[in-house]
Amino acid sequence: MNPFRRSPFVIIAAIIVYFFLYAPIVGLILYSFNASRTNVTFEGFIPSFSERVVMDGSLVKSSPCGPFHWYCDLAKNDDVAEAAGNTLTIAFISTIVSTIIGTMAALALQRYNFKMKPFSQLSLYIPIVIPEIVMGIGILTLFSQFFGWANNAFNLVGDSRLSLGIATVTISHIAFMVPFVTLVVQARLQGFDKSYEEAAMDLGANEWTTFRRVTLPMILPGIMSGALLAFTLSLDDFVITFFTNGPGSTTLPIYVYGLLRRIITPQVNALSTVWILVVFLAVLLLQILQNREQKQHS
Amino acid sequence: MASEFAVEMRDVVKRFITPEGNEMAAVDHVTMRIKNGEFFSMLGSSGCGKTTSLRMIAGFEWPTEGEIYIEGIPMGHTPPFQRKVNTVFQSYALFQHLTVFQNLAFGLEMEGAGTDEIKKRVGHALEMVQLTGMDRRKPKQLSGGQQQRVALARALVKTPDVLLLDEPLGALDLKLRKEMQLELKALQQQLGITFIYVTHDQEEALTMSDRIAVMSKGKVQQMGTPVEVYERPANKFVADFIGESNFLEGTIKSLSKDEASVFIPSLNAEVKGMPISEGLVTGEEVVVCVRPEKIKLVDKSVKSDGLFPGRVTNTVYIGADTQVFVDVNGAKLKVWEQNRISRLDPKSFYTVGQEVWLMLVPENTLVLKKD
Condensed to tens digits (0 to 9), the pLDDT of residues A276-296 reads 898 888 888 878 877 776 665
- The per-residue pLDDT for A46 is 81
Across the range B185-205, mean pLDDT stands at 94
CB contact under 8 A, B81 and A198: no
CATH assignment at residue B27: 3.40.50.300
Kind plus residue range of the DSSP H or E element containing B231: helix B226-231
Whether residue B227 is found in the same domain as residue B148 = yes
| Residue B211 CA, distance from chain mean position | 9
Across the range B310-334, mean pLDDT stands at 92
Q: Concatenate the DSSP letters of all residues of A204-227 into one string.
A: T--HHHHIIIIIHHHHHHHHHHHH
Calculate what percentage of chain B has a pLDDT beyond 90.
Answer: 75
Pick from B51, B96, B148 the residue to mutate for testing the A interface (most A CBs within 10 Å). B96
Closest CA to B265 of B308, B325, B204: B308
Shortest distance, CA B77 to any CA of chain A (angstroms): 14
3-state secondary structure of B319: coil
CATH assignment at residue B313: 2.40.50.100
From chain B, pick out residues whose CB is under 8 angstroms from the CB of A214: 95
3-state secondary structure of B26: strand
Domain segments of chain A: what residues? 9-66, 78-262
- Residues of chain B in Cβ contact (below 8 Å) with chain A: 58-60, 79-81, 85-87, 89-91, 93-97, 106-107, 110-111, 138, 140, 154-155, 158
Number of Cβ atoms within 10 Å of the Cβ of A293: 14
The CA distance from B275 to B296, in Å, is 19
Q: How many CA atoms lie within 13 A of B176 on its CB side?
A: 13
The CA distance from B344 to B268, in Å, is 37
Classify residue B306 as left (phi > 0), alpha (psi -120 to 50) or beta. Answer: left
Report yes or no on whether pTM surpasses 0.90. Answer: no
Task: State how many domains chain B has.
Answer: 2
Residue B293: exposed, middle, or buried by beta-carbon count in 10 A (0-12, 13-18, 19+)? middle
Whether residue B196 is found in the same domain as residue B297 = no
pLDDT for B23-41, tens place per residue? 889 999 999 999 999 999 9
Taking 90 as the threshold, does the pLDDT of residue B142 lie above it? yes
Q: Which residue from A195, A206, A297 is facing B97, i.e. has the nearest CB? A: A297
Shortest distance, CA B293 to any CA of chain A (angstroms): 42
Whether residue B220 is found in the same domain as residue B287 = no
Q: Is residue B100 within 8 Å of B137, Cβ to Cβ?
A: yes
Helices within B95-220 (DSSP H only): 100-111, 115-128, 144-156, 174-191, 202-208
Kind plus residue range of the DSSP H or E element containing B290: strand B285-290
Taking 80 as the threshold, does the pLDDT of residue B51 lie above it? yes
Helices within chain A (DSSP H only): 8-31, 69-75, 78-111, 117-129, 132-153, 166-189, 195-202, 207-210, 216-235, 239-244, 252-262, 266-297
CB contact under 8 A, A204 and B158: yes
Tally of residues, chain B: 371
Closest CA to B43 of B162, B236, B228, B203: B203
Dihedral pair phi/psi, residue B223, rounded to 5°? -130, 125
The CA distance from B265 to B255, in Å, is 18
In a domain, B239, yes or no: no
CB contact under 8 A, A205 and B81: yes
Taking 60 as the threshold, does the pLDDT of residue B204 lie above it? yes
Taking 60 as the threshold, does the pLDDT of residue B1 lie above it? no
Q: Which residue from B60, B81, B94 is facing A204, i.e. has the nearest CB? A: B81
Whether residue B357 is found in the same domain as residue B223 = no
Task: Give bridge partners of residue B70 from the DSSP assignment.
Answer: B7, B73
Looking at residue B47, the DSSP 8-state letter turns out to be T
Pick from B89, B167, B198 the residue to mutate for testing the A interface (most A CBs within 10 Å). B89
Residue B306: exposed, middle, or buried by beta-carbon count in 10 A (0-12, 13-18, 19+)? middle
3-state secondary structure of B251: strand
From chain B, pick out residues whose CB is under 8 angstroms from the CB of A213: 106
The CA distance from B232 to B222, in Å, is 10
Shortest distance, CA B5 to any CA of chain A (angstroms): 21
- For B88, the closest chain A residue by CA position comes to A199
Give the residue numbers spanning the domain of B307: 244-369
Pick from A112, A192, A196, A202 the residue to mutate for testing the B interface (most B CBs within 10 Å). A202
- The per-residue pLDDT for B171 is 83
What does pLDDT average to over chain B?
A: 92
Taking 80 as the threshold, does the pLDDT of residue B266 lie above it? yes
ipTM above 0.90, yes or no: no
More confident residue, A2 or B116: B116
Q: Is residue A214 within 8 Å of A70, Cβ to Cβ?
A: no
Whether residue B78 is found in the same domain as residue B115 = yes
* Radius of gyration in angstroms for the set of CA atoms belonging to chain B, rounded to a whole number: 25
Domain end: B183, B204, B234, which one? Answer: B234
Query: Cβ of A297 under 8 Å from any chain B Cβ?
Result: yes
pLDDT below 70 — which residues of chain A?
A: 1-3, 293-298
Task: Give bridge partners of residue B12 from the DSSP assignment.
Answer: B30
Give the type of residue at B30. Answer: V
Whether residue B73 is found in the same domain as residue B166 = yes
The superfamily CATH assigns to domain A78-262 is MetI-like (1.10.3720.10)
CB contact under 8 A, B80 and A198: yes
Q: pLDDT band for position B6 (50/70/90)?
A: very high
In a domain, B361, yes or no: yes
Q: Is residue B368 within 8 Å of B287, Cβ to Cβ?
A: yes
- The per-residue pLDDT for A138 is 93
From chain B, pick out residues whose CB is under 8 angstroms from the CB of A209: 110
Shortest distance, CA B183 to any CA of chain A (angstroms): 23
Whether residue B59 is found in the same domain as residue B182 = yes
Shortest distance, CA B270 to any CA of chain A (angstroms): 56
A105-112 long-range contacts (CB < 8 A, ≥24 apart) are A105/A178, A105/A182, A106/A181, A106/A182, A106/A183, A106/A185, A106/A186, A106/A189, A107/A185, A107/A189, A107/A215, A109/A182, A109/A186, A110/A186, A110/A189, A110/A192, A111/A194
Q: How many CA atoms lie within 13 A of B286 on its CB side?
A: 31
Q: Which residue from B90, B110, B140 is facing A203, i.e. has the nearest CB? A: B110
From chain B, pick out residues whose CB is under 8 angstroms from the CB of A199: 87, 89, 93-95, 154
Query: Cβ of A206 under 8 Å from any chain B Cβ?
Result: yes
pLDDT for A115-133, tens place per residue? 888 898 898 888 889 999 9
Q: Which residue from A199, A206, A213 is facing B89, i.e. has the nearest CB? A: A199
Whether residue B92 is found in the same domain as residue B224 = yes
Q: Which residue from B89, B111, B154 is facing A195, i.e. has the nearest CB? A: B89
CB contact under 8 A, A202 and B138: no
Shortest distance, CA B39 to any CA of chain A (angstroms): 20
Closest CA to B26 of B45, B62, B44, B52: B52
Q: pLDDT band for position B324 (50/70/90)?
A: very high
- The per-residue pLDDT for B258 is 87
The CA distance from B72 to B36, in Å, is 11
CB contact under 8 A, B81 and A199: no
Shortest distance, CA A199 to any CA of chain B (angstroms): 6
From chain A, pick out residues whose CB is under 8 angstroms from the CB of B86: 202-203
Q: Is residue A232 within 8 Å of A181, Cβ to Cβ?
A: no
